[in-house]
Amino acid sequence: MNDSIADLVDSRTGRQSRSIYASEDIYRQELERIFGRCWLFLVHTSQIPKPGDYFRTFMGEDDVIVIRQKDGSIKAFLNSCTHRGNRICRADRGNARAFTCNYHGWSFSPDGALSGVPLENEAYFGELDRTKFGLIPVTKVAEYKGLVFGCWDANSPSLDDYLGDAKFFLDVWLDAMPGGSALLGETQKMVLGTNWKLPVENVCGDGYHLGWAHAGAMAAVQSMDLTGLSVGNSGVDLDGGLSVAGMNGHMVLSALDGVSGYAFYPDPKPILEYLEANRQTVIDRLGEVRGRQVWGAQVNITIFPNLQLLPGLNWFRVYHPKGPGQIEQWTWAMAENDMPEAVKAQILENQCLTFGLAGLFDNDDGDNLTACTEQSRGWRTAQMDVYTNMAVGRSGKREGFPGDIAAGLVSEHNQRYFYRRWQEHMMAETWAEVPTYNINSLTEQEAEHA
């Protein structure tokens, strides 16, 4: 299979075989080598604040429960009874002292231990070794400043190393202000008939589609110019933003004006006041480049393989694959804890308006991604390629930033790195064969003084 994977993607020229969006065999290999190997986002600590709080999510197609422990730590387990495999929790979230299986009544405590077995003495004759039937824990669980990730592969790098230089950008949300971050609202869940890679690709680097695919929404709600983009794709300004990649498969798009994240708020005034009032604090904490130019700007951050967050527009999203041609897309609003209550409420409100289930922008993307997936299933189309060959070879170092950087938000530079990472994982038998790279990494001192 590795020979064929080598042919499916050419990240130098920007070519992908359409079969990667349609093939069942490739999908099964993705579940093993990408979702079974990478660190996957599970929950934000703000979503399970108290002991016994739990949140149900997925790692690939594996259903997991993430539970806050008595000691404040967080554990995650397969949501599957160790007796006959039934799902033990059918709720989205909540607080529980125990999880009891609906089938035969086995119950498990929040630390995963098998705590109760009906008829244990009468039917098992007291011979069941409960210690061998605890819930199956996720191999590794780790947190980075509020973001909790899980990983099935014992040989993976640490979460810190996995995130690499993407932390430089993650900190623009997670650590800009001393109070840290939170996710707001219930999970906004939508089924889309797309391969999981297409929405990731769309948000990781595709500034090209914004002015065209979302022209109707931009015409209706835009309250200020978004540097680098225009309605109807009639013009583009490549000086106003960056496409940043080459960070272990993670990618960032960033405008550099410090305010444009809020360009799609009908009334951005309260948030602009918050940004102005706290700008110096953030500059002191993160340096001039991130504090003045990135914090508040339109920023798209992609953590490989399936997490995307847009500080500024303030939506946070994971894509759960459900076969080669389907996903569930889960979205929340994201806020900084230091924001005034009214600003947080406005962020939740505006995130729902723009990128919610009836989101003015979000509702433009689903059919495009679905059709790209369907147009890879034909006898003829499955033999064809698609291209991300815009601005090839026009990237390099940019003062003050890590990564291999192309100018502007309109480029296909990031998508090429996304598919390169996909290919690196798919060809590797083990983590040891997956290359690690943080191109143009800044020294700690450079990052602080940038």
Q: Which residues are catalytic?
A: 104, 206, 209, 214, 365
Name the segment binding another protein (CB under 8 A); options: 140-148, 252-260, 361-369, 417-425: 361-369
Sequence letter at residue 90: R
193 binds another protein (CB under 8 A): yes
Sequence letter at residue 97: R
92 binds another protein (CB under 8 A): yes
Cβ count within 10 A of residue 199: 21
Name the segment binding another protein (CB under 8 A); options: 107-115, 167-175, 290-298, 365-373: 365-373
* Cα–Cα distance measured from residue 321 to residue 77, given in angstroms and rounded to the nearest whole number: 19
Sequence letter at residue 257: D
CB of 209 to another protein, least distance (A): 11
Q: 67 with 48: CB under 8 angstroms? A: yes
* Cα–Cα distance measured from residue 192 to residue 172, given in angstroms and rounded to the nearest whole number: 30
3-state secondary structure of 95: strand
Candidate list 117, 136, 215, 236; residue touching another protein; CB under 8 A? 215
Smaller CB separation from another protein, 119 or 220: 220
* Cα–Cα distance measured from residue 190 to residue 328, given in angstroms and rounded to the nearest whole number: 6
Name the segment binding another protein (CB under 8 A); options: 159-167, 281-289, 356-364, 393-401: 356-364
Smaller CB separation from another protein, 295 or 315: 315
Contact flags string 257-276 toward another protein, x per CB under 8 A: ---------x----------
CB of 214 to another protein, least distance (A): 8
* Cα–Cα distance measured from residue 362 to residue 293, given in angstroms and rounded to the nearest whole number: 26
* Cα–Cα distance measured from residue 279 to residue 268, given in angstroms and rounded to the nearest whole number: 16
CB of 196 to another protein, least distance (A): 14
Name residues whose C-beta falls within 8 Å of residue 320's C-beta, 6 or more positions apart in sequence.
Answer: 57, 58, 60, 61, 196, 306, 327, 328, 329, 330
Candidate list 123, 220, 277, 384; residue touching another protein; CB under 8 A? 220
Contact flags string 17-56 toward another protein, x per CB under 8 A: ---------------------------------x--x---
Q: Retrieve residue 361's tokens.
A: 């922008």
Contact flags string 330-349 toward another protein, x per CB under 8 A: ---x-------x--xx--xx
Q: 440 with 272: CB under 8 angstroms? A: no
CB of 67 to another protein, least distance (A): 13
Kindly identify the residues of this chain, within the stretch 150-169, that bind another protein according to CB under 8 A: none
Smaller CB separation from another protein, 190 or 428: 190
70 binds another protein (CB under 8 A): no
# binding residues, another protein (CB under 8 A): 52
Candidate list 29, 69, 86, 95; residue touching another protein; CB under 8 A? 95
Candidate list 187, 222, 389, 441; residue touching another protein; CB under 8 A? 187
Query: How far does CA 241 lie from the centroid of its chain?
Result: 21
Provide the total of helices (H) and of strands (E) in the chain, helices listed first.
13, 22
Q: How far apart are the first and last CA of the chain?
A: 44
Pairing of strands 385-387, 15-17: antiparallel
236 binds another protein (CB under 8 A): no
* Cα–Cα distance measured from residue 186 to residue 191, given in angstroms and rounded to the nearest whole number: 16
Candidate list 141, 217, 289, 309; residue touching another protein; CB under 8 A? 217
Q: Retrieve residue 327's tokens.
A: 């996903």
Q: Retrieve residue 107's tokens.
A: 């119950």
Contacts with another protein by CB under 8 A lie at 50, 53, 90-96, 182, 184-193, 213, 215-217, 219-221, 232, 266, 328, 333, 341, 344-345, 348-349, 351-353, 356-358, 360, 362-364, 366-371
